[in-house]
Structure 1
């Protein structure tokens, strides 16, 4: 098997180094690299096809070394989505945005997260800042009644109506929350 064909098996997603370009409908130059690589398959002559693959894989490798493109597999993409859960971003196609497909979002596991509380800090009046093990910081926007949250407890945070989030700390009631960092 040639290097070009192996590369096609490895490349699953090409992300742009500048996410601001993703919002436009015009195809960014980085996506052109991937398109050009795929077009090599249509060349009938073996030697020309191999030369095309070698040239395009070289161009992608150079762009990758310059951090102009980033290649992620699906598990890395899902980790990135979970890390960014709770932040408001424009709909970015490479993070699953763009089309309002709630079923696809649900399938990808970005409609909620299950985590362990790493730290808690009282903000007064029954409100808390809650640090998760992955470093994410959340704040309750309403008072927590009953048991105070503690490090080591599990928490589930779900998307709610109109861009809000609801959290449930180990056996407690559901409370409104927002991501702060």
Structure 2
């Protein structure tokens, strides 16, 4: 296999993997695939080698242009998981690529998504009355909504944040008791 054909095949396979992440485990009702992706897949049906290669060249070029224009975004699974963790605590509509399903149509989310994160405290600011604003190393800002009575949180300590009932969150700083928290930025 020559270099150009190998690169096209590798790009096509990685694209199939990326676009197919949500569909590989999807419920019976699948999301429609983007036209640019289906055009690329149609190249596989061409039997003439040179025509098939020309089709792949053209469609991969179109995909590259679309990516440069931010019309298509390509994420691998580890990037998607990092994004889910970064967005932990925010409220979003149910998006298929963030493990949301359309429950009214009988689809269930593929997984519960991120249910907790372990992080390190980068900064703390007292809000008075035992409440704190806590900054994490990734830049996320959380605020306690009830007083922390045992010990004051300090930079460098570990914190565990978990989903709780009714869309709320609980945070527990190294050895302390869990308190209700909310994401502020």
Do both proteins adopt the same fold according to a TM-score greater than 0.5, normalized to the shorter chain? Answer: yes
Instruction: Work out whether 1:58 is the aligned partner of 2:61.
Output: yes
Match of 1:150 among 145, 154, 161: 154
Q: Secondary structure at the match of 2:112?
A: helix
Match of 2:108 among 97, 100, 106: 100
Distance in structure 1 (CA, Å) of the matches to 2:35 and 2:168: 37
RMSD, aligned CA? 2.0
Structure 1 residues 26 and 114: CA distance shift in structure 2, 3 A: closer
Report runs of 4+ in structure 1 exceeding 6 Å deviation. Answer: none
| Structure of greater relative contact order (alpha carbons < 8 Å, 6+ residues apart) | 1
Which ranges of structure 1 fall in alignment gaps of 5 or more residues? 15-24
Which structure has greater strand proportion?
1
Q: Which moved more, 1:34-43 or 1:120-129?
A: 34-43
Distance in structure 1 (CA, Å) of the matches to 2:109 and 2:116: 15
The aligned counterpart of 1:170 is 174
Match of 2:85 among 72, 79, 82: 82
Structure 1 residues 75 and 142: CA distance shift in structure 2, 3 A: same
Shift of residue 27 of structure 1? 4.2
TM-score by structure 2 length? Answer: 0.83
The aligned counterpart of 2:104 is none
Q: Secondary structure at the match of 2:156?
A: coil
Summarize the alignment of residues 1-181 of structure 1 with structure 2, pairs less than 5 Å apart: 1=1, 2=5, 3-11=7-15, 12-14=17-19, 27=32, 31-98=34-101, 99-101=107-109, 104-105=111-112, 110-181=114-185
Structure 1 residues 38 and 91: CA distance shift in structure 2, 3 A: same
Distance in structure 1 (CA, Å) of the matches to 2:31 and 2:115: 29
Shift of residue 161 of structure 1? 1.3
